[in-house]
Amino acid sequence: MAGQLDLFVPGVVYLDVIFTGLRELPEPGTEVWAAGMGSCPGGVANLAVAASRLGLHTGLGTALSSDAYGEFCHRVLSRQEGIDLSASRRVDDWHSPVTVSLAYDRDRSMITHGHPLPTDEDGLVNGLPAARSAAVSLAGTGTGWVHRARAEGTLVFADVGWDETDQWSCDVLSALEDCHAFLPNAVEAMRYTRTDSPQQALDKLSGLVPVVVVTNGHDGALAIDSGTGEVATAPGVPVEALDPTGAGDVFTAGFITGTLGGWPLADRVAFANLVASLSVQHFGGSLSAPGWGDIADWWQAVRQTAARHHSESTEAELARRYAFLDDVIPPGRRNAVHRATATIARLSDAQAVDV
């Protein structure tokens, strides 16, 4: 592994197959046609790809099967997206986990097939590489490495999945004592804290971890940094949503990017909202994540539109809120990002663009 990583992401990579443009979900015994379809690496690849597209040197700790699905994911992640797979391993005689996602009415339904991997308390970390930051799912395959990561100076960003047992045991949150930040969605935050609002949940969680961000879908996000005393609330960015798959991971990638860049909390949350919103305009989970070219295009369009409207318009408010982008968007020429294609047989093409 060449040099220190900006972000290390351990966990399971799935092959995601996404169907979009559905007029309705299929009833038992019926068939519906989808207007769009895409294939891409999913699972923890959503976060890794989003971070890499924002310029972070990102490594994955995962297992990839030697079957056709695993080979496709390996090729996309390493050759197309520039993810460091030095801490990952290839596995024979194991079927790649597959998720089929049906994107419908700004939400999605999913069907997943997979087989468990033999793991220890470290899950799929497979050795802890030197990294400025790392991401952990508290309901994932292993969190035994988190304490070591903190001891080595790594900032650990945690999330948590849906509790299928409906117990919402606070024991799941025990690893937060070694984490820098916790980024649950509003429902998860309220369930674990037994509170009735995202704000109440935020206040309660702030005693467990230095930085807490509670995401709330179209309503944006709210955050607190108990170390600096900063408090931030950022509304969502209005876009036409196509597929929300992976938006939470893109949000986390944006927030980590701002944290490593030393940005104020309000700018970190606003930026995370922006990149997550841009991602839902495309189908394809990990490959829907925006690159800096997409962000620059959005910012240019907002400024031009704001100049034609009065100072109280939505566009003018966006221009004021995102003025910090002038200081963080990298200058020069950059490559357009790849989007999900309707086959796992080959990679999509993209050309460099000037921004």
User: Is the domain of 156 the same as that of 262?
Assistant: yes
Report the domain count for the chain. 2
- Domain annotation covers residue 134: yes
Q: What is the pLDDT of residues 243-272, one digit of tens each?
A: 667 788 999 999 999 999 999 999 999 999
Which phi and psi (to 5°) does residue 162 adopt? -70, 135
Which phi and psi (to 5°) does residue 323 adopt? -60, -25
User: Is the domain of 152 the same as that of 21?
Assistant: yes
User: Can you tell me whether residue 320 is helix, strand or coil?
Assistant: helix
User: Is the domain of 250 the same as that of 298?
Assistant: no
Q: How far apart are CA 11 and CA 47, in angstroms?
A: 11
User: Is the domain of 219 the same as that of 264?
Assistant: yes
User: Is the domain of 170 the same as that of 312?
Assistant: no
- Domain annotation covers residue 276: yes
Sheet holding 13-20, edge to edge: 36-43, 13-20, 98-104, 107-113
User: Is the domain of 64 the same as that of 90?
Assistant: yes
189: left (phi over 0), alpha (psi -120 to 50) or beta: alpha
CB contact set of 221 (below 8 Å; sequence gap of 6+) = 213, 214, 215, 233, 234, 251, 269, 272, 273
Cα–Cα distances (Å) from 224 to 133, 176, 205, 232, in that order, read 19, 15, 10, 6
The pLDDT of residue 306 is 87
- Domain annotation covers residue 115: yes
Q: How far apart are CA 345 and CA 332, in angstroms?
A: 33
- Domain annotation covers residue 162: yes
Q: Which amino acid is at 139?
A: A
Q: How far apart are CA 97 and CA 76, in angstroms?
A: 16
Q: What is the pLDDT of residues 209-244, one digit of tens each?
A: 999 999 998 889 999 999 999 999 998 888 877 666
CATH code at 216? 3.40.1190.20
- Domain annotation covers residue 347: no
Domain with 150 in it: 5-290
User: Is the domain of 308 the same as that of 204?
Assistant: no
User: Is the domain of 84 the same as that of 169?
Assistant: yes
Q: What is the pLDDT of residues 321-338, one digit of tens each?
A: 999 999 999 987 666 677
More confident residue, 67 or 341: 67
Q: pTM for the complete prediction?
A: 0.90
- Domain annotation covers residue 152: yes
The burial of 206, by beta-carbon neighbours within 10 Å (0-12 exposed, 13-18 middle, 19 or more buried), is given as middle
Q: What is the pLDDT of residues 8-62, one digit of tens each?
A: 999 899 999 988 778 888 899 999 998 878 888 999 999 999 999 999 999 999 9
Q: How far is CA 223 from the centre of its chain?
A: 17
- Domain annotation covers residue 343: no
Q: What is the 3-state secondary structure (H, E, C) of 50-95?
A: HHHHCCCCEEEECEEECCHHHHHHHHHHHHHCCCECCCCEEECCCC
User: Is the domain of 106 the same as that of 254?
Assistant: yes
CB contact set of 293 (below 8 Å; sequence gap of 6+) = 334, 335, 336, 337, 353, 355
The pLDDT of residue 243 is 65
- Domain annotation covers residue 346: no
Boundary residue ending a domain (290, 323, 349) = 290
Q: Which amino acid is at 69?
A: Y
Position 171 confidence tier, pLDDT thresholds 50, 70, 90: confident
